[in-house]
């Protein structure tokens, strides 16, 4: 605690996911020391929500803060400050952002403002600008807000009766948590095994800019292949990415009266959906977006959905959550659908007879050799294969094996057909190499997919079919590899495999 001349503002920066009793007592003390001052609550990362670092949306945090300030009669101003990457000038950014928001009315300087903060790194930033500091909980045996958030996570469903939490959580904040189910939201996010990063992304190694471009470039073609199979009514796109599939479907006259629901777990993609909504890209269609892992929550009642769409999703469930989760997801889709409803699943797929051993002559003419831990861009297909064999599913412990043989005087890689197509499908995703190396594409062939769905109560329609993407084969596969199948008469050329599968599966009436 410091003794200061009377100040005009008490700047209280933070994410403010809750307010503690001690924080309120500290603010009361500071306002008593500086008669006529106002608390400036800077709610940082305000555009960030649904993540482990920021589980509560900024709008809900704003409401919580203002409810506490009103109840305690704390002279307060509240401002939402958007998320930024950590930078040394963040303290300056907060002060300048609030000055800008208020048209210069709230201009905080070291001469008129004391900063209330208990985070050493943030304190250092404001001290560097000359601001005096009150350290609130720092150095005292007092819980900080995030300590209470973590205790709420640990307490589970009984959090509201936890004595340690009740002693520290401000009672108005507690009522806010109960009214809006905020504790359950936080607990659900922290329990989600799919979003295992603080910022709410499936993986920290995915290049979302290139992912978005590729998804949106391909969506029109894929949607064109199944749009007439969509049943109007309640249409749910699970793993909706940027919402492009919903946008294309919402423009079809026969679906004008439908309600569209986009469910996306990755924060960066979900935020794009919200931006597109705010920009009017979905017109007057009824479009609703949720940031959820549908495996962790039940958004839709049984027998309540007419169409479920999944594009490039099922392989991520298999890759990140495992086979049991994939089977559970199939069951959940069946439960959500009304009798007569349809599941449309468009995804990558494995080859027929994926366990069969084949030979692949991988070219060395399209790049250079390189060390196993060096840059990937610029490597030849042969050298890139070595890197892929080293990296693929290495952390999971279920990667690929191979050896080499000489055929007609040329070295060939000998491996299963599935392993080969895992490589061919991913070898050019240099920007997201490590993300792709975690993901398994070739776990089911088209026939195995059909069998799985029919064993789980679906009926696959005649629209179900395997797909070869001719562009991929011509531009990515064929230039990189010559593939041979082993026969009794010797090696013969192996036809190119499927690249995708379209599954159109109905939940039977009755």
Residues 411-467 have pLDDT tens digits of: 999 999 999 999 999 999 998 898 899 999 999 999 999 999 999 999 999 999 999
CB 42 within 8 A of CB 79: yes
pLDDT at 202: 44
pLDDT above 50 (res 203): no
Domain boundaries, the chain: 9-191, 208-348, 357-438+474-493
The token pair that represents 501 in the structure block: 């599968």
pLDDT above 90 (res 296): no
Of 40-44, 202-206, 209-213, 357-361, least confident by mean pLDDT is 202-206
- Does the fold of domain 208-348 match that of domain 9-191? yes
**DSSP code for 369:** -
Segment 175-200 mean pLDDT:
77
Interhelix angle 182-191/145-155, nearest 10 degrees: 80
CB 290 within 8 A of CB 299: yes
pLDDT above 50 (res 94): yes
pLDDT at 51: 77
Looking at the structure, give the CATH architecture of the domain made up of residues 9-191.
3-Layer(aba) Sandwich (3.40)
Q: What's the CA gap between 400 and 250, in Å, rounded?
A: 42
Q: What's the CA gap between 244 and 287, in Å, rounded?
A: 12
pLDDT above 60 (res 210): no
Q: What's the CA gap between 306 and 342, in Å, rounded?
A: 6
Query: What percent of the chain has pLDDT above 90?
Result: 79
pLDDT above 80 (res 88): no
pLDDT at 307: 96
| Predicted structure pTM score | 0.68
pLDDT above 50 (res 124): yes
Candidates 318, 311, 367, 315; CA nearest to 343 is 311
Candidates 193, 247, 251, 192; CA nearest to 215 is 247
pLDDT above 50 (res 383): yes
pLDDT at 205: 47
Q: 41-85, pLDDT tens digit by residue? A: 999 999 877 778 888 989 999 999 999 999 999 999 999 998 776
pLDDT above 50 (res 315): yes
The token pair that represents 237 in the structure block: 């796109």
pLDDT at 22: 97
CB 28 within 8 A of CB 65: no
pLDDT at 5: 67
Fold of 208-348: Rossmann fold (3.40.50)
Of 198-212, 239-253, 323-337, least confident by mean pLDDT is 198-212
Query: What percent of the chain has pLDDT above 70?
Result: 93
In the structure, what pLDDT confidence band is assigned to residue 215 with cuts at 50, 70 and 90? low
Phi and psi at 105, nearest 5°, equal -70, -40
């Amino acid at each position: 605690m410091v003794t200061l001349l009377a100040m005009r503002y008490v700047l209280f920066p933070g994410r403010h996911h809750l307010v503690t009793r001690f924080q309120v007592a500290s603010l009361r003390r500071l306002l008593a020391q500086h008669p006529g001052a106002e608390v400036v609550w800077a709610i940082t990362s305000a555009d960030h929500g649904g993540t482990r670092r920021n589980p509560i949306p900024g709008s809900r945090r704003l409401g919580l803060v203002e409810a506490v300030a009103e109840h305690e009669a704390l002279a307060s101003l509240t401002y939402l400050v958007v998320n930024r990457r950590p930078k040394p000038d963040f303290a300056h950014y907060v002060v300048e952002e609030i000055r800008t928001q208020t048209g210069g009315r709230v201009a905080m300087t070291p001469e008129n403002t004391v900063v209330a903060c208990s985070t050493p790194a943030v304190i250092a930033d404001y001290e560097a600008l000359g601001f005096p500091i009150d350290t609130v909980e720092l150095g005292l045996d007092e819980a900080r807000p995030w300590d209470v958030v973590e205790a709420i996570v640990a307490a589970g469903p009984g959090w509201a009766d936890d004595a340690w939490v009740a002693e520290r959580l401000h009672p108005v904040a507690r009522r806010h948590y109960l009214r809006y189910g905020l504790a359950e939201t936080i607990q659900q996010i922290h329990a989600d095994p799919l979003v295992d990063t603080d910022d709410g992304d499936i993986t920290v190694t995915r290049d979302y800019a290139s992912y978005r471009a590729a998804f949106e470039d391909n969506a029109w073609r894929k949607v064109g292949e199944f749009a007439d199979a969509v049943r109007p009514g309640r249409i749910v796109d699970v793993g909706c990415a940027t919402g492009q599939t919903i946008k294309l479907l919402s423009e079809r006259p026969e679906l004008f009266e439908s309600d569209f629901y986009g469910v996306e777990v990755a924060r960066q993609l979900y935020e794009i959906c919200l931006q597109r909504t705010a920009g009017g890209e979905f017109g007057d269609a009824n479009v609703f977006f949720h940031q959820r892992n549908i495996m962790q929550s039940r958004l839709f009642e049984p027998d309540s959905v007419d169409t479920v769409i999944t594009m490039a999703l099922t392989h991520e469930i298999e890759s990140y959550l495992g086979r049991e989760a994939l089977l559970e997801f199939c069951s959940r889709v069946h439960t959500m659908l009304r009798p007569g409803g349809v599941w449309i699943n468009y995804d990558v797929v494995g080859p027929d007879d994926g366990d069969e051993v084949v030979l692949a002559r991988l070219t060395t003419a399209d790049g250079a050799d390189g060390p196993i831990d060096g840059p990937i861009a610029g490597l030849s297909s042969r050298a890139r294969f070595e890197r892929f064999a080293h990296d693929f599913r290495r952390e999971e412990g279920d990667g690929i094996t191979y050896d080499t043989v000489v055929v007609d005087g040329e070295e060939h890689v000998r491996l299963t057909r599935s392993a080969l197509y895992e490589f061919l499908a991913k070898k050019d995703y240099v920007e997201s190499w490590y993300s792709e190396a975690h993901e398994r594409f070739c776990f089911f062939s088209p026939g195995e997919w059909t069998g799985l769905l029919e064993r789980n109560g679906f009926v696959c329609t005649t629209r179900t079919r395997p797909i070869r993407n001719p562009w991929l084969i011509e531009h990515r596969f064929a230039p990189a590899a010559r593939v041979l199948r082993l026969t009794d008469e010797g090696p013969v050329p192996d036809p190119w495999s499927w690249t995708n599968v379209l599954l159109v599966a109905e939940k039977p009436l009755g």
